[in-house]
Amino acid sequence: MNMRSAKSQRGFTLLELMVASSIGLVVIFAMTMLFKVGMDATLTVTQRAETQQNMRAAIELMTKDISLAGSGLPSGGLQLPTGGTPSLFACNQAGVCYVPANTYPASGTGVPNYMYGILPGFNNGVQAAAVIPNAPGQINDSVTSIYCDYNFPLTNFTFTFPSQTSSTVGLVATPNPALPTNILAPGGLNTGDLVMFIVSTAGKGTGTQGTSSVQSATAVGEITGIPNNTTLNFAAGDALNFNQVGPNSIASLNGAGALGAGTTLTACRVNAVTYFLQVPPAGGTVQAPRLMRQVNGLNAVPVADNIINLQFTFDVIDSNLGIISANQANPIAAGLSPALIQKVNLWVMGESLLTGGKKSQSMYLASSVAARNMSFCNSYSDSSTVCQ
């Protein structure tokens, strides 16, 4: 009987297995690192895109409001009542004031309570003066833009003042279907809105101008109640301290109690829009700072999340020299009038959603806005510099 001889099968040696495993591990590690780099790059790009989107939305909205600053207001601003407590901005009807310094500044002659088209808020930009850890230098500004709101025109209404001491203003809509006839319509007036009344008397122009109207008095009041679509209440003790007695108040417009013949009365809703930063209180789901927008005596609403720094500078005409004083962070402290602001330069710093320094992204966006409706100085006049 013949026996078959067993043939040996060759396999991998231990050394070959170790080399092959090492090479495989190196390839897997390289692929893992490449995947991680790709994921990190995707995360970075996504965060930067979201942060830029937030900042661009914020800048676009601020640009719109600032570009309207001074529109419809008297040239150089408006003196508010000076007989009582100073009027307030950036406060709601519940008495919550969103920026620490919230009274109207003094005029160029030192009289307090003056309404300019732009109110700079140097280092006054965080509600309750809260600390934003990642804000560079802890300098955060606010800005307030004030202008007439023509989206809801009041030119379709006539206004009556029952008496000098009355807090009620009656209004009647004229039949013009192209204009609103109901102040309670969507987008209409609300409690806390500011309304500017301008009393004009008939006069005669010179040359070919013919008959014209001369502005004789202007005052701003805060609506405290709208009992129906034909009545506005401007009661004393309003949240923003506009409805006072004495000069420059709504009560003073009626003079002796009767507006004379040939007198016209026009009105517009005034928007006093303040931008500032808010840090939500502890315990909420969102702790990152956010940019807020507040109008008149209404509640502030969020505009953009994760905004950690907001700064403004202003190009202002120096009325003494007749030249631009550029990049003034605090023009009032520098002795410059906010009425002569010609351009607003703004910087917004955003931070990505990840916090704690772990892969979070932060960046600046900057822009400039021309204040086209503010006063100006004619430095080319033959006489001394003329400011209007």
Q: pLDDT tens track of the chain, all 388 residues?
A: 566 655 566 667 878 788 888 888 888 888 888 877 777 666 666 666 777 788 888 899 999 999 999 999 988 899 998 877 899 999 999 999 999 999 999 988 888 999 999 999 999 999 988 888 777 777 899 999 999 998 888 877 877 766 655 666 766 666 666 777 788 888 888 999 999 988 876 554 443 344 455 556 888 999 998 888 888 888 888 999 998 887 888 877 766 445 554 456 788 999 999 999 998 876 555 567 899 999 999 999 999 888 889 999 999 998 887 788 999 999 999 999 999 999 999 999 888 765 544 566 778 889 999 988 887 666 555 554 556 5
Domain annotation covers residue 78? yes
Domain annotation covers residue 143? yes
Burial annotation 186-207 (CB, 10 A radius, 16+ → b, else e): eeebbbbbbbbbbbbeeeeeee
Domain annotation covers residue 24? no
What's the domain count of the chain? 1
139: containing domain: 51-387
Place of tokens 């409690």: 191
Beta strands at 168-173 and 263-278: parallel, antiparallel or unpaired: unpaired
What pLDDT was estimated at residue 29? 83
- Tokens representing 279 are 């840090």
Domain annotation covers residue 157? yes
Handedness of CA 249, 250, 255, 259 (dihedral sign): positive
What pLDDT was estimated at residue 381? 54
Contact present, 289 and 132 (Cβ < 8 Å): yes
Alpha helices in the chain (DSSP H): 14-67, 250-253
Domain annotation covers residue 17? no
Other beta carbons within 10 Å of 235 = 14
Strand partners, 365: 348
State how far the Cα of 339 lies from the Cα of 30, in Å rounded to an integer: 63
What pLDDT was estimated at residue 141? 94
Q: How far is CA 297 from the centre of its chain?
A: 13
Domain annotation covers residue 329? yes
- Tokens representing 334 are 């520098």
State how far the Cα of 151 lies from the Cα of 20, in Å rounded to an integer: 75
Domain annotation covers residue 378? yes
Domain annotation covers residue 44? no
